Amino acid sequence: MSILDIALKLVPGMLVSIQIFFVTLLLSLPLGLLVAFGRLSKIKFISYLCKVYISIMRGTPLMLQLMVVYFGPYYIFGVSTSGNYRIVATIIGFVVNYAAYFAEIYRSGIQSMPSGQYEAAKILGYSKSQTFFVIILPQVIKRILPSITNEVITLVKDTSLAFTISVAEMFTMAKALASSTTSMLPFVCAALFYYIFNLIVAFAMEAIEKKLEYYK
């Protein structure tokens, strides 16, 4: 079997990996901002709750979290799930995990902003929400973009962990093909996919950084 044949057989797995990547990114970035707000809240209970959530998500393996989300409904609540729940559980697991990391990145960026900017905005008549979304957030995004880029690149590789709950993504299909063909070529093709995907992501993030250069 040629590399082209193997690559074609891996296409469905590629599409699943890409789906996991984009949906996770789309949902975890705004969720991470909300969690960051909670972490910075002056209400101690909310701040503590968000701190515990972040600690658990960052302190336990993503693989284990995926297993809890997938098997939890049955073992904890006795609720049977369908085969379609695998991809839903994968998305939930990835989103809640990455939201915790993004929350800490957002928090560090927000706390790094000089207090004088808030005071100046208040003098100019900006409300708190206007101050944050119009003045602070664009500068925060510029500051945290390198850290966000690192997490996004890690996410590309972490999509392979969906094999834990038997989601037919790239790595799962490559492993099955390698077993059936007794060849390393499926793993080589999978490695090329992850590498090329990461190159595209890195290029896109670099382009965004250049677009935001005017915030210097």
Please state the separation of Cα 132 from the chain's center in Å: 23
Both structure tokens of 66: 């995926």
Give the separation between CA 2 and CA 91, rounded to whole angstroms. Answer: 33
216: number of Cβ within 10 Å: 6
Q: 66: burial class by Cβ within 10 Å (0-12, 13-18, 19+)? A: buried
- What pLDDT, on the 0 to 100 scale, is given for residue 214? 59
The pLDDT of residue 216 is above 70: no
Q: What is the pTM of this model?
A: 0.90
In the chain the domains, ranked by start, together with CATH numbers, are: 3-215 (1.10.3720.10)
pLDDT in tens, 66-124: 999 999 888 888 888 877 889 999 999 999 999 999 999 999 999 998 888 888 888 88
Residues 6+ apart with CB under 8 A from 172: 13, 162, 163, 166
Residue 127 has pLDDT above 90, yes or no: no
User: Which range is least confidently modeled, 61-65, 175-179, 194-198?
Assistant: 175-179
Cβ–Cβ under 8 Å, residues 173 and 6? no
174's tokens? 């490559």
Q: Helices 185-211 and 137-158, interaxial angle, to 10°? A: 180
